Amino acid sequence: MRRSYQSGGLALVSLASVVLYLSLHRRQLVPGTPAVAKDSRTTTLTDGTSTFLLNHSLYEAHFPHLQRYQCQEVIARDALCQGPARAPLLLLAIKSHPASGSKRAALRRTWARPAEVGGFWLQPLFLLGAASSDKDAELVGLESHTFGDILMWDFAESHHNLSLKERCFLRWVHQHCQRAAYVFKGRRTRSCAAGARPCSLRQAK
């Protein structure tokens, strides 16, 4: 009888081991989870208070499009980085959607317009990905011709590409607008208190 109990116990242990192995093996094969090779390459990012270790392999596996894409502007007027030489240039970089022309118009009527405020020259920039329809592309082209404040790239406009838009904007600033003293980044849904802006700029100065 004792031998039968021992045999049954060994069988249960063996069965549990097989189930555990199959479970782990199946989990490794679940699609959507990129396989990340072991990599000793890490970059230490710190702001003096917090420290973050960036694993290059993990980053490249989760964001492959950021590694391959070469930023290419579709619309980029020369006037995007101009203003009086006497005033430091402050870029108002506003992420927008090609189909949101009415929202951009509302911002232009309020605070997103070229002006000298508090000793700074404010230059608005609307950051867009490629339009998904010919109609939107045509309207954005007319906006750019009229206002000269559109910066558009050839990647698809989507929430998934917001990091790509950020990267391409910083690259554009580095290559074409190094005279910018400050950059304010916002979204098309945010508003700005025009009366408080000069005070904030004087404090920043």
pLDDT tens digits for 137-187?
999 999 999 999 999 999 989 888 888 899 899 999 999 998 899 999 876
Q: Alpha-carbon distance 186 to 172, whole Å?
A: 17
Q: Is 119 left (phi over 0), alpha (psi -120 to 50) or beta?
A: left
Q: pLDDT at position 86, please?
A: 84
Supply the DSSP string of 154-202, one letter for each residue: EEEPSGGGHHHHHHHHHHHHHHH-TTEEEEEEEETT----TTTHHHHHH
Q: Indicate the range of 23-32, 129-138, 182-191 predicted with least confidence.
A: 23-32
pTM over 0.85: no
More confident residue, 28 or 154: 154
- pLDDT at 15 > cutoff 50: no
Mean pLDDT, the chain, integer: 76
Q: Alpha-carbon distance 191 to 184, whole Å?
A: 13
- pLDDT at 48 > cutoff 90: no
User: Could you give the C-alpha distances from 197 to 81, 86, 103, 125, 147, in angstroms and in order?
Assistant: 21, 19, 20, 17, 22
- pLDDT at 130 > cutoff 70: yes
Q: Alpha-carbon distance 130 to 138, whole Å?
A: 11
Q: Are 74 and 82 in contact (CB under 8 A)?
A: no
Summarize the confidence of residues 18-47 as an average pLDDT. Answer: 52
Tokens 């980044």 -> residue: 185
What's 80's DSSP letter?
G
Q: pLDDT at position 28, please?
A: 42
The winner for highest mean pLDDT among 53-67, 77-91, 163-177 is 163-177
What are residue 92's DSSP bridge partners?
124, 184
Summarize the confidence of residues 10-27 as an average pLDDT. Answer: 42
Summarize the confidence of residues 192-197 as an average pLDDT. Answer: 42
Give the H/E segment covering residue 195.
Answer: none
Polymer length in residues for the chain: 205
- DSSP-based three-state secondary structure for 166: helix
More confident residue, 22 or 64: 64
